[in-house]
Amino acid sequence: MRYGICLANLGTFSDPRVPVELGLAAEEHGWDAVFIWDHLAFVWKAPAADPWTVLAALAATTKRVRLGTAVTPVARRRPQVVAHQIATLDNLSGGRVTFGAGLGGSASEFGKFGEPTDAKVRAAMLDEGLELLRGLWSGKEVTHHGEHYTVDGVTLAPTPTQARVPIWIGGNRPASLRRAARWDGWLADSADPTGMTLSPEEVARSIATIGRSGDYDVAVLGERDRGDPVAYAEAGATWWLENLHDRRGTPEKVLRLVEQGPPGERPLSSGRRRP
């Protein structure tokens, strides 16, 4: 089990200095990753920071932690722009980006701007967009004439530092799990501002449905005071992402939580400890 923090990009966290300070503290105190939400929360009358600007600041000031979004609704972004942003971020960070992608749970973030709100349309845009991202990152010339996107003989340069930027798919619905099986990881929608929303048993059942193993990643959003990371590890999770937002307390309180470092792990029943 590896441990990261997952930061809100809204409310108090809309001041970009707050998530940057927390991300720097995470690297200093032994966390393995820093992820950030990707919401246009100003649509709901809440201030919001642009996650890519925050991640760029962290890429330039950290050396070790992985960086990513949890998760980006691909359907409300142009795939060629996302491909360019992530390639640049991956080069800036020295190859530390994980891309969290999903359908997007807030229809208003689409509809308020005249974009499709129908989930089936957004799902089709997500699937087509992901294939385009992988094609553009390959460094090969891409020609694509699809249902939603067109690319006429374009070669992205520079390509990401990583030979394969990991793509984790967010969401708990059957379609999300089928999609996650086709990519590099599953990011369980296992916590929200009210606390844990999936049990270890539910996570284990979804992992069985996905049917992947080996170097496949499973990340759970969690809160250490409401869930046991080791129970989720025993269920098959490989990452615990501590979900941090205004309901966890003031920025000062959240900073103290980050400074405590990753949650300790209790011994397994056999007496071994997880690496």
Instruction: Using the predicted structure, report yes or no on whether residue 211 has a pLDDT greater than 90.
Output: yes
pLDDT digits (tens, 9 = 90+) for 165-178: 999 999 999 999 99
CA nearest neighbour of 85 among 73, 97, 94, 76 = 97
Specify whether the CB–CB gap between 38 and 51 falls below 8 A. yes
Read off the pLDDT of each residue in 99-118 and give the average, rounded to a whole number: 95
Q: What is the DSSP letter of 78?
A: -
Residues 6+ apart with CB under 8 A from 247: 193, 194
Query: What percent of the chain lies above the pLDDT cut of 70?
Result: 96
Rounded alpha-carbon distances, angstroms, from residue 155 to 101, 151, 159, 165, 272: 23, 10, 9, 17, 49
Tokens of 16: 């970009």
Instruction: Using the predicted structure, report yes or no on whether residue 118 has a pLDDT greater than 50.
Output: yes
Query: What percent of the chain lies above the pLDDT cut of 90?
Result: 93
pLDDT digits (tens, 9 = 90+) for 232-245: 999 999 999 999 99
**Number of neighbouring beta carbons within 10 Å of residue 71:** 23
Which domains are present in the chain?
A: 2-259 (3.20.20.30)
User: Which pLDDT does position 264 carry in this prediction?
Assistant: 67
Read off the pLDDT of each residue in 78-91 and give the average, rounded to a whole number: 98
Average pLDDT, the chain: 94
Comparing 107 with 195, the larger pLDDT belongs to 107
User: Which pLDDT does position 192 carry in this prediction?
Assistant: 87
Instruction: Using the predicted structure, report yes or no on whether residue 130 has a pLDDT greater than 70.
Output: yes
**Phi then psi dihedrals of residue 13, to 5 deg:** -75, -5
> Residue 180 and residue 171: Cα distance in Å, rounded?
9
**Sign of the torsion angle spanned by Cα atoms 238, 8, 168, 221:** positive
pLDDT digits (tens, 9 = 90+) for 21-64: 999 999 999 999 999 999 999 999 999 999 999 999 999 999 99
**Phi then psi dihedrals of residue 260, to 5 deg:** -70, -15
User: Which pLDDT does position 42 carry in this prediction?
Assistant: 97
User: Which pLDDT does position 215 carry in this prediction?
Assistant: 94
Read off the pLDDT of each residue in 219-228 and give the average, rounded to a whole number: 94
Read off the pLDDT of each residue in 100-129 and give the average, rounded to a whole number: 96
CA nearest neighbour of 103 among 80, 121, 126 = 126
User: Which pLDDT does position 267 carry in this prediction?
Assistant: 38
Read off the pLDDT of each residue in 149-173 and give the average, rounded to a whole number: 98
